[in-house]
Amino acid sequence: MSNPIVHSSGPVTLVGGGQATSQDLAEALTIAPQLVAVDGGLQLVEAAGLLPEAVIGDMDSAPPEALARIPTERQHRVSEQQTIDFDKALRHVSAPVVLGVGFCGGRIDHQLAAFHTLLVHADRPCILLADKEIILLSPPGITLGTSAGDIVSLFPLQPVRGRSLGLEWPIDGLVFDPASFVGTSNRALGPVTLSMETAGMLLILPRRHLAQVADVLVSGAPRWPSAR
Protein backbone atom coordinates (compact mmCIF):
# COMPACT_ATOMS: atom_id res chain seq x y z
CA MET A 1 0.00 0.00 0.00
CA SER A 2 1.34 3.43 -0.92
CA ASN A 3 2.08 5.95 1.79
CA PRO A 4 -0.81 8.44 1.76
CA ILE A 5 -0.28 11.97 0.59
CA VAL A 6 -3.70 12.88 1.98
CA HIS A 7 -4.95 11.18 5.13
CA SER A 8 -8.48 12.06 6.24
CA SER A 9 -10.95 10.76 8.80
CA GLY A 10 -13.77 12.05 6.58
CA PRO A 11 -14.75 11.79 2.91
CA VAL A 12 -12.48 13.36 0.28
CA THR A 13 -13.40 14.83 -3.11
CA LEU A 14 -11.03 14.12 -6.02
CA VAL A 15 -11.44 16.34 -9.08
CA GLY A 16 -10.20 15.09 -12.45
CA GLY A 17 -9.86 16.81 -15.78
CA GLY A 18 -12.79 15.11 -17.54
CA GLN A 19 -16.34 16.31 -18.02
CA ALA A 20 -17.68 17.98 -14.88
CA THR A 21 -19.46 21.16 -13.88
CA SER A 22 -19.21 23.54 -10.97
CA GLN A 23 -22.55 22.09 -9.79
CA ASP A 24 -21.01 18.60 -9.75
CA LEU A 25 -18.14 19.88 -7.66
CA ALA A 26 -20.43 21.77 -5.27
CA GLU A 27 -22.58 18.68 -4.72
CA ALA A 28 -19.56 16.52 -3.96
CA LEU A 29 -18.12 19.08 -1.54
CA THR A 30 -21.30 19.13 0.55
CA ILE A 31 -20.57 15.47 1.32
CA ALA A 32 -16.77 15.40 1.09
CA PRO A 33 -15.38 18.88 1.83
CA GLN A 34 -11.70 17.90 1.76
CA LEU A 35 -10.57 18.74 -1.78
CA VAL A 36 -7.83 17.21 -3.92
CA ALA A 37 -7.18 18.17 -7.55
CA VAL A 38 -5.95 15.49 -9.92
CA ASP A 39 -3.67 17.09 -12.54
CA GLY A 40 -5.95 18.84 -15.07
CA GLY A 41 -8.80 18.87 -12.56
CA LEU A 42 -7.05 21.89 -11.07
CA GLN A 43 -8.76 24.00 -13.76
CA LEU A 44 -12.25 23.28 -12.42
CA VAL A 45 -11.07 23.78 -8.85
CA GLU A 46 -9.59 27.16 -9.70
CA ALA A 47 -12.67 28.19 -11.68
CA ALA A 48 -14.70 27.56 -8.53
CA GLY A 49 -12.36 29.84 -6.57
CA LEU A 50 -11.10 27.03 -4.35
CA LEU A 51 -7.66 26.02 -3.10
CA PRO A 52 -7.09 22.26 -3.02
CA GLU A 53 -5.34 20.60 -0.14
CA ALA A 54 -3.19 18.78 -2.68
CA VAL A 55 -2.61 18.47 -6.42
CA ILE A 56 -1.57 14.96 -7.45
CA GLY A 57 -0.53 13.65 -10.88
CA ASP A 58 2.15 13.76 -13.50
CA MET A 59 1.26 17.44 -14.07
CA ASP A 60 1.10 17.15 -17.85
CA SER A 61 -2.35 18.78 -18.09
CA ALA A 62 -2.43 21.16 -15.13
CA PRO A 63 -1.87 24.69 -16.51
CA PRO A 64 1.53 26.00 -15.35
CA GLU A 65 -0.02 29.34 -14.40
CA ALA A 66 -2.52 27.53 -12.16
CA LEU A 67 0.20 25.42 -10.55
CA ALA A 68 2.16 28.60 -9.87
CA ARG A 69 -0.66 29.70 -7.58
CA ILE A 70 -0.54 26.47 -5.55
CA PRO A 71 1.95 26.30 -2.66
CA THR A 72 4.77 23.98 -3.64
CA GLU A 73 4.22 21.81 -0.57
CA ARG A 74 0.74 21.00 -1.90
CA GLN A 75 2.03 19.83 -5.29
CA HIS A 76 2.76 16.12 -5.50
CA ARG A 77 4.21 15.00 -8.81
CA VAL A 78 3.95 11.29 -9.58
CA SER A 79 5.92 10.90 -12.79
CA GLU A 80 5.49 7.22 -13.71
CA GLN A 81 3.45 6.61 -16.87
CA GLN A 82 2.17 3.08 -16.20
CA THR A 83 -1.03 4.34 -14.52
CA ILE A 84 -3.55 7.11 -15.10
CA ASP A 85 -3.69 10.17 -12.87
CA PHE A 86 -6.82 8.89 -11.14
CA ASP A 87 -4.87 5.82 -10.04
CA LYS A 88 -1.95 7.99 -8.92
CA ALA A 89 -4.30 10.03 -6.74
CA LEU A 90 -6.57 7.28 -5.37
CA ARG A 91 -3.68 5.13 -4.16
CA HIS A 92 -2.26 8.12 -2.28
CA VAL A 93 -5.48 9.12 -0.51
CA SER A 94 -6.52 7.42 2.71
CA ALA A 95 -10.17 8.17 3.55
CA PRO A 96 -13.36 6.31 4.47
CA VAL A 97 -14.72 7.14 1.02
CA VAL A 98 -13.62 9.21 -1.98
CA LEU A 99 -15.97 11.03 -4.34
CA GLY A 100 -14.62 11.32 -7.88
CA VAL A 101 -15.70 14.29 -9.99
CA GLY A 102 -14.49 14.62 -13.58
CA PHE A 103 -13.69 10.97 -14.28
CA CYS A 104 -16.81 10.01 -16.26
CA GLY A 105 -18.09 11.28 -19.58
CA GLY A 106 -15.94 12.56 -22.40
CA ARG A 107 -13.37 10.07 -23.66
CA ILE A 108 -14.49 6.48 -23.29
CA ASP A 109 -10.92 5.20 -22.85
CA HIS A 110 -10.45 7.48 -19.85
CA GLN A 111 -13.72 6.28 -18.34
CA LEU A 112 -12.82 2.62 -18.83
CA ALA A 113 -9.44 3.24 -17.23
CA ALA A 114 -11.20 4.84 -14.25
CA PHE A 115 -13.34 1.70 -13.81
CA HIS A 116 -10.17 -0.39 -13.94
CA THR A 117 -8.71 1.78 -11.19
CA LEU A 118 -11.75 1.13 -8.98
CA LEU A 119 -10.98 -2.58 -9.26
CA VAL A 120 -7.22 -2.26 -8.79
CA HIS A 121 -7.82 -0.28 -5.59
CA ALA A 122 -10.89 -2.17 -4.41
CA ASP A 123 -9.85 -1.59 -0.79
CA ARG A 124 -10.35 2.18 -1.21
CA PRO A 125 -14.09 2.92 -1.50
CA CYS A 126 -14.72 5.47 -4.24
CA ILE A 127 -17.90 6.77 -5.85
CA LEU A 128 -17.68 8.29 -9.33
CA LEU A 129 -20.21 10.96 -10.32
CA ALA A 130 -21.59 10.63 -13.84
CA ASP A 131 -24.22 12.83 -15.46
CA LYS A 132 -27.23 10.92 -14.10
CA GLU A 133 -25.68 8.03 -12.19
CA ILE A 134 -23.12 7.16 -9.57
CA ILE A 135 -20.70 4.30 -10.13
CA LEU A 136 -18.75 2.37 -7.52
CA LEU A 137 -17.23 -1.02 -6.98
CA SER A 138 -19.72 -2.95 -4.89
CA PRO A 139 -18.31 -3.69 -1.43
CA PRO A 140 -18.62 -7.17 0.10
CA GLY A 141 -22.01 -6.19 1.47
CA ILE A 142 -24.24 -3.14 1.25
CA THR A 143 -27.87 -2.19 1.94
CA LEU A 144 -29.31 0.60 -0.18
CA GLY A 145 -32.32 2.76 0.58
CA THR A 146 -33.60 2.50 -2.97
CA SER A 147 -37.24 2.93 -3.98
CA ALA A 148 -39.40 0.65 -6.09
CA GLY A 149 -38.54 1.14 -9.75
CA ASP A 150 -35.03 2.52 -9.22
CA ILE A 151 -32.55 1.15 -11.75
CA VAL A 152 -29.84 -0.95 -10.10
CA SER A 153 -27.28 -1.97 -12.71
CA LEU A 154 -24.53 -4.50 -12.09
CA PHE A 155 -21.60 -4.82 -14.46
CA PRO A 156 -18.79 -7.29 -13.74
CA LEU A 157 -15.19 -6.38 -14.45
CA GLN A 158 -14.19 -10.01 -13.84
CA PRO A 159 -16.09 -13.19 -12.88
CA VAL A 160 -18.20 -12.49 -9.78
CA ARG A 161 -20.92 -14.28 -7.83
CA GLY A 162 -23.27 -12.60 -5.40
CA ARG A 163 -26.62 -12.57 -3.64
CA SER A 164 -29.42 -10.03 -3.46
CA LEU A 165 -32.58 -9.08 -1.63
CA GLY A 166 -35.05 -6.59 -3.07
CA LEU A 167 -34.18 -6.84 -6.77
CA GLU A 168 -36.83 -7.61 -9.38
CA TRP A 169 -34.42 -10.17 -10.86
CA PRO A 170 -32.41 -11.76 -8.00
CA ILE A 171 -28.76 -12.55 -8.68
CA ASP A 172 -28.39 -15.57 -6.39
CA GLY A 173 -26.73 -18.49 -8.14
CA LEU A 174 -25.69 -16.48 -11.19
CA VAL A 175 -22.11 -16.25 -12.44
CA PHE A 176 -21.41 -12.77 -13.79
CA ASP A 177 -18.61 -12.40 -16.31
CA PRO A 178 -17.85 -9.51 -18.70
CA ALA A 179 -17.42 -12.05 -21.50
CA SER A 180 -20.70 -13.87 -20.98
CA PHE A 181 -23.22 -12.42 -18.50
CA VAL A 182 -23.92 -8.94 -17.10
CA GLY A 183 -26.69 -7.49 -14.96
CA THR A 184 -27.56 -4.04 -16.27
CA SER A 185 -31.05 -2.48 -15.96
CA ASN A 186 -32.22 -4.50 -12.98
CA ARG A 187 -34.83 -2.77 -10.83
CA ALA A 188 -35.35 -2.30 -7.11
CA LEU A 189 -38.57 -3.45 -5.47
CA GLY A 190 -37.71 -1.23 -2.50
CA PRO A 191 -34.58 -1.26 -0.33
CA VAL A 192 -31.90 -3.54 -1.79
CA THR A 193 -29.22 -5.61 -0.08
CA LEU A 194 -26.28 -6.93 -2.10
CA SER A 195 -23.41 -9.18 -1.15
CA MET A 196 -20.49 -10.18 -3.38
CA GLU A 197 -18.12 -13.10 -2.95
CA THR A 198 -15.19 -11.28 -4.58
CA ALA A 199 -14.32 -7.77 -5.72
CA GLY A 200 -15.15 -6.96 -9.31
CA MET A 201 -18.76 -5.80 -9.65
CA LEU A 202 -19.55 -2.26 -10.72
CA LEU A 203 -22.71 -0.95 -9.05
CA ILE A 204 -24.54 1.80 -10.95
CA LEU A 205 -27.34 3.74 -9.27
CA PRO A 206 -29.36 6.92 -9.83
CA ARG A 207 -27.29 9.92 -8.82
CA ARG A 208 -29.80 11.07 -6.20
CA HIS A 209 -28.49 8.23 -4.01
CA LEU A 210 -25.01 9.78 -3.77
CA ALA A 211 -25.25 11.13 -0.23
CA GLN A 212 -26.93 7.98 1.07
CA VAL A 213 -24.36 5.62 -0.45
CA ALA A 214 -21.47 7.76 0.78
CA ASP A 215 -22.94 7.68 4.29
CA VAL A 216 -23.31 3.88 4.16
CA LEU A 217 -19.66 3.50 3.13
CA VAL A 218 -18.46 5.89 5.85
CA SER A 219 -20.64 4.27 8.50
CA GLY A 220 -19.01 0.89 8.30
CA ALA A 221 -19.93 -1.06 5.19
CA PRO A 222 -17.38 -3.89 4.90
CA ARG A 223 -14.35 -3.20 2.70
CA TRP A 224 -12.31 -5.40 0.44
CA PRO A 225 -8.84 -6.19 1.77
CA SER A 226 -5.83 -4.62 0.14
CA ALA A 227 -4.28 -6.73 -2.60
CA ARG A 228 -0.93 -5.01 -2.15
83 and 172, same domain (yes or no): no
Cα(155)–Cα(137) distance, rounded to whole angstroms? 9
103 and 65, same domain (yes or no): yes
pTM of the model: 0.96
Whether 15 is covered by a domain: the verdict is yes
pLDDT for res 1: 47
16 and 127, same domain (yes or no): yes
153 and 123, same domain (yes or no): no
Bridge partners, residue 156, by sequence: 201
pLDDT in tens for each of the 228 residues of the chain? 467 899 999 999 999 999 999 999 999 999 999 999 999 999 999 999 999 999 999 998 899 999 999 999 999 999 887 889 999 999 999 999 999 999 998 889 999 999 999 999 999 999 999 999 999 999 999 999 999 999 999 999 999 999 999 999 999 999 999 999 999 999 999 999 999 999 999 999 999 999 999 999 999 889 999 865
Task: Measure Cα distances from 199 to 42, 43, 139, 141, 207 in Å.
Answer: 31, 33, 7, 11, 22
pLDDT for res 228: 58
> What's 170's domain CATH number?
2.60.120.320
94 and 147, same domain (yes or no): no
Whether 182 is covered by a domain: the verdict is yes
Whether 205 is covered by a domain: the verdict is no
Angle 84-48-108 (CA atoms, 0-180°, nearest 5)? 30
Whether 222 is covered by a domain: the verdict is no
Beta carbons of 14 and 90 less than 8 angstroms apart: yes
**Full domain range(s) for residue 146:** 141-196
- DSSP symbol at 209: G
126 and 147, same domain (yes or no): no
Beta carbons of 191 and 183 less than 8 angstroms apart: no
Cα(88)–Cα(86) distance, rounded to whole angstroms? 5
70 and 120, same domain (yes or no): yes
SS3 32: coil
- Nearest Cα neighbor of 55 from 23, 15, 87, 21 is 15
